[in-house]
Amino acid sequence: MLAFAVRRIVYSVPVLIVASFIIFWLGSASADPLAPLREKNPPAPQNVIDAETVRLHLDQSLIPRYFSWLGGIFTGNFGPSVVSTASIGHDLGDRFLVTIRLIAVAMVIALVLAVLLGVLTAVRQYSKFDYAATFVGFLFLAMPAFWFAILLKQAGVSFNLAVGSQAISTIGQASVPPPQGTGAYILDIIGHMILPTISLALISYAAWSRFTRASMLEVMNSDYVRLARAKGLSRSQVMVKHALRTALIPLTTVTALDIASIIGGAVVTENVFQWKGMGDYLVQSIRMNDVYATASWLLLAATVVIVFNLIADLLYGVLDPRIRYA
């Protein structure tokens, strides 16, 4: 298993390096960090523009700038921001912690619902429960992420008005100022996470439950499952130890592939609920033509995608020993 993991990590390194170059190249070609200075009225003095050109390394060609940026990342220096007092690494770290808790909780909820309902609908194929779950799944699957988030936010606002208090938090990732006490602070964080998490989780669960159902139906009709039943194993043993383990392999694949979409959904969700996470940071960086901040954000997102695909590769080896020993 260790050799299998090392091979996957080695394969991931060149992918990340190539992705980092493409990200930096496209980011540099798509925006001019000095455009706001040049377009000011009255225009900024030329010596100010020249000083910013040197500070942002715009006096260098693309390749030296890329290697300077890439080398600085290993020391925690993500490059100079257009805001001279800002630290890209520090800001990204704070925003990442806000976003990753949303993504992690939403993915856990979505996976639990997808596996539970996927298995139940496969076992009760063509029943009323199967038709109802299928309808609900397609309903969430058809909803745009931003529209569903807006509906949930409006529902929360309407509920607060109806009860006459702030029962459901609809704005921000935490109260300002934060409540005193560890327990009160944790409850405040959980309260602010409810609506964004529901928004992100239900959109993801809808597609994953369909994959789980289809995979379970295929596995349940396989020869080794019928043999397990013929040997006298109980239905729960056959479903959990034999069918479900194999059926989780396609779900693992689609979950790893969907992580980029989940990050994109988190960007939209955070902007709807006015979270100060990575989504808000990306939008601000693009608006300010902050090339280094945008490229660093995209590199972090690419790293998360690669890490999740690496985890999926390792899970393949756990779920199917034939992959690990190949």
What is the spatial distance between Cα 158 and Cα 172, in angstroms, rounded to a whole number?
17
At 81-127, the pLDDT tens digits run 888 888 899 999 999 999 999 999 999 999 999 999 999 898 888 88
pLDDT tier for residue 322 given thresholds of 50, 70 and 90: low
Structural tokens at position 283: 């939008």
The verdict on residue 140 lying in a domain is yes
Asked whether 297 and 285 are in contact (CB, 8 A), the reply is yes
Number of domains in the chain: 1
Judge whether 301 lies within some domain: yes
* Predicted confidence band of residue 323 (pLDDT cuts 50, 70, 90): low
DSSP 8-state class, residue 234 = -
Q: Is residue 28 part of a domain?
A: no
Question: Does residue 297 fall inside a structural domain?
Answer: yes
Over 90: is that where the pLDDT of 10 sits?
Answer: no
All residues at 6 or more sequence positions from 313 whose CB lies less than 8 Å from its CB, including other chains: 4, 8
Burial of 301 from C-beta contacts in 10 A (0-12 / 13-18 / 19+): buried
In a domain, 61, yes or no: no
Write down the pLDDT at residue 105: 92
d(CA 317, CA 308): 15
Tens digit of pLDDT for each residue in 168-212? 888 888 887 788 888 888 888 888 899 999 999 988 888 899 888
> Is pLDDT above 80 for 235?
no
HEC-encoded secondary structure of 278-305: HHHHHHHHHHCCCHHHHHHHHHHHHHHH
Say what the pTM is: 0.84
CATH (domain of 276): 1.10.3720.10
Is 79 part of any domain? no
Element (H, E) at 124: none
